Structure 1
Amino acid sequence: APAKDEANPYGLSALWSNGDVIARGVLVIMLIMSLGTWFIMITKFIEQGRLFAASKDATKNFWTKRSIQEGSSALSPSSPFRYIADTGITAAEHHEGTMQEAIDLHSWTSMSIQRAVNNIQNSLQKGLAFLGTVGSTSPFIGLFGTVWGIYHALTAIGIAGQASIDKVAGPVGESLIMTAIGLATAVPAVLGYNLLVRRNKGAMDQVRDFADDLQSILIGGVRHGAGTEGIRVRPDNSPTTVTTSERVG
């Protein structure tokens, strides 16, 4: 019967079993970086997809209602656009009777809506710094692992006194796997970062457009909440009878 094939003396398994604490630590760090990269990319793509879907829902269900309150109620409670609408409504309704009166309604509503937009932007940007860090550092971490492995391989060969090509090529080639792993970790991180940033820009453009339209309605000459029906969503449907005290100063 033919002799059983011996295990491959090179490769990842040999690199792990023959590596010291530093070599194994480099492998673990790059594994964590790779897993974190794919986790963030997948979750961010899902988050962006939900925001784009919410934008379509807001276009369909918010602007067709008679008032901002009705439009907000028509959106999903988890919708970022409902969050912006509710923030604007709250800012307009609770402007009087507090220290906030020192700020005119236009500025206060604008600042409140801008804070809501900034919160959404911050949520979209979470994790991108990690991708940028992985993309810029993982090749150097892999290179460090390669240099460290070659150093120890050459040291062991020198001590053994065997400098033939078959004794050198194996350990050196094995150490070069570290560089390949570093590059394989960095490339998806860089591509994912650039794609997510570009999609974030498109998503935030839609969020800012919604916020600008909402702000124009909230401060379009009628103080929100002054009447029983509130401000109409569309300017051409706004209440026709407004007292002087209800107008924005």
Structure 2
Amino acid sequence: MSADITFFGLFLEASLLVQAVMVTLLLASLVSWAMIFQRKAILSNALKTAREFEDKFWSGVELSSLYHEITHKQEALTGVESLFKAGFKEFARFRKGNHGSVQGLMDATHRAMRVSLSREVDKLETNLPFLATVGSISPYIGLFGTVWGIMNAFIALGEVKQATLAMVAPGIAEALIATAMGLFAAIPAVIAYNRFSHKVEKLENSYINFIEEFSSILHRQALSASATEKQGA
């Protein structure tokens, strides 16, 4: 067995199965890092967009003007902007049709925003299950490669009359690399998954709070409009 104790040398000396394990873990790690950078950018942008929109929303701007502004944006709406558009659109459509009671109006508006919320949370959670999977199974895949490599090393050792540490060391080293690669793939994936899950939960809570606050504003408007109509009648 070769005594070339380098990563590339050990990889070339490993059995096909251990090589396949190493390549699988390397690919999983590369894909995980790509998803980590992508999710980081998306979640950071979602937090920034939510803060900017809520600052504008609470600045005292008229809701109809704000609705007109965001519906004419060239880029696709995301996050709290989507919730606002869905809620105000349903509110205006229901009032224009003069359908039912104030409670019916608010129920329809609230349902529209909850559906939009579900879609937005699904977008934020994209790729998180993959990171969770890589974080949970990569150590076991690496351990499998290690067990297989060490088993082959001892089988080869049993075929010689005089065993030395120099003969068995490369085989054990190449097997242990599989475990190291499993941990290398798993640790960043687990850390990223936990961090991103916390950010998604934080954003979801922020969206839910906005829905409740926006619903209260629309409810007051609906009650005021209803009272005015009754007085006019």
Give TM-score, length-normalised by structure 1: 0.79
Alignment partners' CA distance in 1, 2:144 and 2:226: 72
Residue aligning to 2:91 = 92
2:40 maps to amino acid: F
Q: Aligned to 2:63, which of 64, 68, 71?
A: 68
Residue aligning to 1:43 = 38
1:7-63 alpha-carbon deviations (Å, 9 max, x no partner): 971232123322333222211211121112212221111111111111221122223
Residue aligning to 1:28 = 23
2:45 maps to amino acid: R
1:23 maps to amino acid: V
1:67-107 alpha-carbon deviations (Å, 9 max, x no partner): 22212344555342221111112222333799x97992222
Does structure 2 conserve the Cα–Cα contact (< 8 Å) formed by 1:16 and 1:24? yes
Write out aligned runs for 1:1-249 (5 A): 9-75=4-70, 77=75, 78-95=77-94, 104-222=104-222, 242-244=228-230
1:145-203 alpha-carbon deviations (Å, 9 max, x no partner): 11111122222232344422211122112211111111111111111111111222222
Alignment partners' CA distance in 2, 1:128 and 1:48: 12
Does structure 1 conserve the Cα–Cα contact (< 8 Å) formed by 2:146 and 2:178? yes
Q: Which moved more, 1:162-171 or 1:140-149?
A: 162-171
Residue identity (%): 25
Q: Cα 1:91–1:240, aligned 2, differ >3 Å: closer, same or farther?
A: closer
Write 1 or 2 for the structure with the bigger share of helix: 2
Does structure 2 conserve the Cα–Cα contact (< 8 Å) formed by 1:62 and 1:74? no
Question: CA offset at residue 240 of structure 1?
Answer: 9.9
What number of residue pairs does the alignment pair up? 225
SS at match of 2:201: helix
SS at match of 1:243: helix
CA RMSD of aligned residues (A): 2.9
Q: Which segments of 5 or more consecutive residues in structure 1 lack a partner in the other structure?
A: 1-6, 224-237
Higher RCO (CA < 8 A, seq sep 6+): 2
SS at match of 2:58: coil
Q: Which segments of 5 or more consecutive residues in structure 2 lack a partner in the other structure?
A: none
Question: CA offset at residue 241 of structure 1?
Answer: 7.3
Alignment partners' CA distance in 1, 2:114 and 2:203: 15
